[in-house]
């Protein structure tokens, strides 16, 4: 089956389980973009994606082609479905060169799309075993003029930081935050906070030292939420 046919079959399932596509709704500012969306809840979208990937045996090449097609699709729903399929796919299908993410991110906008595609799909082992290619990609994203890519450079590390105590991850994280900590946009300040909080369990000593030495220059929300999590295990006090 062609990539176009695979894409259309999946879109048909999305449409069967949702209402009319909408644009410029009250959620635009919350989601951070104005891409059209289908009226389908996130749990239902995940259910559709899980069932579809289970029912369709795709080669790694077909899988990569489908994900790329979904990223380029006009609706935010299809872009988020790409992230959901990444979540439900095995190691073989996820063996592609990470540099493709730079291409995918050209089509994404706002925290909802960025986080759905970038958080949790790429394991610490996967990043560490292919360290040179991953650090090259992440450094490019971190220095990009595209704010969505800059956010992605942090979000892509969040899960790995909770799964590995490798000092390379911590050092790279601090390097990236140093590049971004002076930015005021919430898309970045909240990502800085999230990334620092991801270090609480396995990088605690290095995190405490870094925050103490840089609290005057880090985003206030990142300092507040990180110190609260270090103390209570939560990002906000009860």
* pLDDT over 70 percentage in the chain: 94
Q: At what angle do helices 110-118 and 186-197 cross, to 10 degrees?
A: 30
Read off the pLDDT of residues 62-120 as tens digits, 9 standing for 90 and up: 999 999 999 999 999 999 999 999 999 887 778 889 999 999 999 999 999 999 999 99
Asked if residue 177 and residue 218 are part of one domain, the reply reads: yes
For the chain, the domain total comes to 2
Cross-strand bridge partners of residue 22: 37
CA distance linking residue 6 with residue 12, whole number of Å: 10
Q: What are phi and psi of 37, to 5 degrees?
A: -135, 155
Q: Are residues 196 and 227 in the same domain?
A: yes
Q: Taking 50 as the threshold, does the pLDDT of residue 218 lie above it?
A: yes
Instruction: Indicate the average pLDDT of the chain.
Output: 92
Question: Do both 150 and 60 map to the same domain?
Answer: no
In a domain, 43, yes or no: yes
Q: Are 199 and 81 members of one domain?
A: no
Shared domain for 131 and 68, answered yes or no, is no
Does residue 198 lie within any of the structural domains?
Answer: yes
- Whether residue 31 is predicted with pLDDT greater than 70 in this model: the reply is no
User: Is residue 125 one of the residues assigned to a domain?
Assistant: yes
Domain presence at residue 138:
yes
| Residue 105 placed within a domain | no
Write down which residue in 61, 96, 131 finishes a domain. 96
SS3 content of the chain, % helix, strand, coil (to 5): 65, 0, 30
Give residue 190's domain range: 113-238
């Amino acid at each position: 089956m062609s990539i176009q046919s695979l894409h259309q079959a999946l879109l048909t399932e999305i449409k069967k389980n949702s209402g009319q596509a909408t644009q410029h709704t009250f959620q635009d500012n919350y989601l951070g973009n104005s891409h059209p969306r289908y009226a389908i809840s996130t749990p239902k979208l995940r259910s559709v994606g899980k069932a579809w990937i289970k029912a369709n045996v795709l080669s790694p090449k077909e899988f990569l082609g489908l994900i790329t097609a979904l990223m380029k699709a006009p609706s935010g729903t299809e872009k988020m479905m790409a992230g959901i399929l990444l979540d439900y796919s095995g190691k073989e299908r996820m063996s592609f060169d990470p540099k493709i993410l730079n291409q995918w991110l050209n089509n994404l906008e706002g925290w909802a799309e960025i986080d759905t595609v970038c958080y949790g799909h790429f394991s610490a082992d996967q990043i560490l075993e292919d360290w040179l290619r991953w650090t090259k990609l992440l450094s490019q994203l971190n220095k990009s003029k595209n704010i969505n890519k800059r956010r992605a450079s942090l979000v892509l590390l969040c899960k790995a930081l909770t799964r590995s105590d490798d000092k390379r991850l911590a050092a790279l994280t601090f390097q990236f935050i140093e590049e971004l900590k002076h930015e005021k946009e919430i898309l970045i300040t909240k990502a800085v906070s999230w990334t620092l909080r991801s270090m609480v369990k396995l990088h605690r000593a290095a995190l405490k030292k870094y925050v103490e030495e840089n609290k005057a220059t880090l985003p206030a929300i990142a300092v507040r939420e990180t110190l609260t999590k270090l103390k209570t295990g939560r990002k906000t006090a009860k």
